[in-house]
Amino acid sequence: MILRKKTFIKPVTDWSNISGYFKRHERSDSSHFRFVEMADNFLRVIRNEKPSISDSITLTSSRDLQIGKNRHIMRIIIENLILCDRQNIAVRGHTEERGNSMAILNYAASEDEVLSKHLTQLTNEKAKYTSPDIQNEILKIIGSQIRENIVRDCNKSDYFAILADEATDTSTKEQVSLCLRFLDRTDNGLEVRELIICQVIHIRIRGVKQCYFICSYVL
């Protein structure tokens, strides 16, 4: 026998199937269950045990606003480190507060209210993201991204070569510069790209040992 859809809207006369009515009445998709849940949520809001819908919307908006500010601050800090690295500017000075990175950030903060509040009105519950450990971690992440992009572009090329140039510095130490050369496919056709991989100091070695030494830095 098919049970009626509207349970207990009309008087129950089919007592042989009363257990089926009760089970359907208690299901999570029943109207009774939804109304009980709504009443429970209402009482929890009245007792301040749960935020109301309007409070939840306000909290969500505040959270989204804070996320946007944090991303804005992190973008400026990352771009600042990229600028220092690209121009070979030392990030830190004798102290963290007097470093080049902080000097550039403070200059940028003079025209950026969000960054200025972050650097000057800092509480103990927040991080400034300008400590040496954080700076080193950000630089490592940037380096990993650069390497991944270079490897991706190099893998697309049919040919590549590794060039090594040796020279002696003023302290009579031999230094080897490693350069990666490959064909890059662009919208204008094939272009030769040359990228300095690294500069290393090594002892006087030749032949197979020198090849092994170079490969240990490349691979």
Last residue of a domain, one of 107, 138, 169: 138
pLDDT at 79: 92
* Average pLDDT taken over every residue of the chain: 75
Cβ-in-10-Å burial (0-12, 13-18, 19+) of 86 comes to: exposed
In a domain, 149, yes or no: no
Q: Is residue 132 domain-shared with residue 78, that is, in the same domain? A: yes
pLDDT digits (tens, 9 = 90+) for 55-110: 666 656 777 788 888 889 999 999 999 998 888 888 876 666 678 888 899 999 98
pLDDT digits (tens, 9 = 90+) for 134-157: 888 999 999 888 888 888 888 888
pLDDT digits (tens, 9 = 90+) for 38-56: 777 777 777 776 666 666 6
Domain interval for residue 7: 1-53
Mean pLDDT lowest for which of 45-49, 114-118, 127-131? Answer: 45-49
| Rg of the chain (C-alpha set) | 33
The model carries a pTM of 0.57
In a domain, 117, yes or no: yes
Q: How confident is the model at residue 208 (pLDDT cuts 50, 70, 90)?
A: low
In a domain, 153, yes or no: no
In a domain, 146, yes or no: no
Q: How confident is the model at residue 204 (pLDDT cuts 50, 70, 90)?
A: low
pLDDT at 119: 86
Strand ranges (E), the chain = 160-168, 174-186, 189-201
Q: What percent of the chain has pLDDT over 70?
A: 63
Q: Is residue 28 domain-shared with residue 66, that is, in the same domain? A: no
pLDDT at 4: 43
Provide the residue count of the chain: 219
Neighbouring C-beta atoms of residue 80, cutoff 10 Å: 23
Q: Is residue 48 domain-shared with residue 69, that is, in the same domain? A: no
In a domain, 150, yes or no: no
CA angle 85, 127, 139 (to 5 degrees): 20
pLDDT at 190: 79
pLDDT exceeds 50 at position 32: yes
Better pLDDT: 175 or 134: 134
pLDDT at 77: 92
Last residue of a domain, one of 15, 32, 53: 53
Q: Is residue 128 domain-shared with residue 181, that is, in the same domain? A: no
Last residue of a domain, one of 34, 53, 72: 53
Q: Is residue 175 domain-shared with residue 131, that is, in the same domain? A: no
Q: Is residue 23 domain-shared with residue 89, that is, in the same domain? A: no
pLDDT at 67: 83
Residues 106-127: what's their mean pLDDT?
80
- Count of domains for the chain: 3
In a domain, 21, yes or no: yes
Residues 174, 167 contacting (CB under 8 angstroms): yes
Q: Is residue 17 domain-shared with residue 45, that is, in the same domain? A: yes
Q: Is residue 74 domain-shared with residue 111, that is, in the same domain? A: yes
In a domain, 127, yes or no: yes
